Amino acid sequence: MGKTEFLLKKKFLLRKMRQIIFGSEKLVTTKPITTSDFQSLTTKEDLDRYNQEQAILSERIEKDILDDELRRKMHQDLIDTYDEELENEIDDYARDFRFNGREMSEQEKLDRRTYFHELVRLQRELIKLQDWVVANGERIVVIFEGRDSAGKGGAIKRITQRLNPRVCRVAALPAPTEREQTQWYFQRYVAHLPAAGEIVLFDRSWYNRGGVEHVMGFCTDAQYEEFFQSVPEFERMLVRSGIRLVKYWFSITDDEQHARFMSRIYDPLKQWKLSPMDLQSRRRWEDYTKAKETMFERTHIPEAPWWVVEGNNKKRARLNCIAHLLEQIPYKEIPRDEIELPSRKRDDEYYREPIPDDMYVPPRY
């Protein structure tokens, strides 16, 4: 991909994202973006509401921001924010010369535009969910389980990307210590449950016992059976206490997992993702399948059902998961007061001491 083409694509993406979030231009055409493979979920009501919000925001900017230099700096800050998403997507969309430099097809390009449009729209809704959780003292737990390399981490990253980490946090526990192995099995997970006004995303959870621990022989048959006797009631207790519990299983095909593992083997930036347990999961594919089927059979309860996310297409999986999560919770938009930045208080006698040159990080870039 040439530099000019890359800059044009980046410019287009930034313009679309500005349209969606800040309304610096008209949002999109009046009908949703559609392809044979990817359907936008944006409705006419969404467009009308966003256009109204954009008009209000544009009017405020025109009224309040009279300094051209300040507007330029705000614009640059906006670009830096959107660059985060471009960086996240390098794995999926950068031209990769290791694989003969295959470029995106026209279909892939159009799908990508739809993906970004929908992702930012859903992230706007996640911010509303966050505000509702804080305002109402809600407690939400979302469990992410599934095949290795099925896309759990990517979905979690997009959910948390624009949220307050003090409200929405990720619990990704390492292997239990010797002391933890002597505790009640659920004890180390209980410590990470949310307080009022918090959302916790479990990147793997107590279902380790029903999966990797059983398949790899890290627990006894008695412990495995006790887990299935205990977990339905444990989850019912959580729900009765007021916690909203949502459980996702990310599923991919054998061939897709093989391709992703091979990609990780040959990519220095991804090799850290391949643990010895991941390699064993390839060899024991059928054992993990049987463990998953048993887990669904014995823990799919009305109070906390399992939801399966098809993960062969990473981007579709992320959008489907986020959209579904939002549907599970009856959140409402919380009105916000207009924010006025107070004038800086200045002291004419204040003197700012110079910082020694050797304290600065060298400006290599």
DSSP for 228-290, written as a single string: HHHHHHHHHHHHHTTEEEEEEEEE--HHHHHHHHHHHHH-TTTGGG--HHHHHHHHTHHHHHH
Q: Span 223-240, mean pLDDT?
A: 98
Residue position matching structure tokens 């449009």? 117
Kindly report, residue by residue over 83-141, the tens digit of the pLDDT. 566 656 655 554 344 445 556 666 666 577 788 889 989 999 999 999 999 999 999 99
Kindly report, residue by residue over 151-198, the tens digit of the pLDDT. 999 999 999 999 999 999 999 999 999 999 999 999 999 999 999 999
Which is higher by pLDDT, 86 or 240? Answer: 240
CB atoms near residue 202 (< 10 Å): 23
Strands in the chain per DSSP E: 139-146, 168-171, 198-203, 243-251, 306-310
Which is higher by pLDDT, 354 or 39? Answer: 354
pLDDT band at 24 (very low <50, low <70, confident <90, very high): very low
Task: Yes or no: say if 258 and 150 are a contact pair by the CB < 8 Å rule.
Answer: no
Query: Using CA atoms, how far apart are residues 291 and 209, in angstroms rounded to an integer?
Result: 10
Token code pair at residue 247: 């459980």
Longest CA–CA separation in the chain, Å: 75
Which is higher by pLDDT, 69 or 337? Answer: 337
Kindly report, residue by residue over 60-88, the tens digit of the pLDDT. 666 666 667 766 666 666 665 555 666 56
Instruction: Name the β-bridge partners of 185.
Output: none
Question: What is the per-residue pLDDT for 114?
Answer: 84
Q: What is the pTM of this model?
A: 0.77
Query: Using CA atoms, how far apart are residues 72 and 357, in angstroms rounded to an integer?
Result: 29
**C-alpha distances in Å from residue 66, one per residue of 53, 69, 70, 78, 302:** 20, 9, 8, 18, 56
Dihedral angle of Cα 162, 71, 341, 64, to the nearest 10 degrees:
-120
Average pLDDT over the chain, rounded to an integer: 83
Task: Yes or no: say if 83 and 161 are a contact pair by the CB < 8 Å rule.
Answer: no
For residue 33, pLDDT over 60 is answered with no
Kindly report, residue by residue over 294-314, the tens digit of the pLDDT. 999 999 999 999 999 999 988
Question: What is the per-residue pLDDT for 341?
Answer: 86
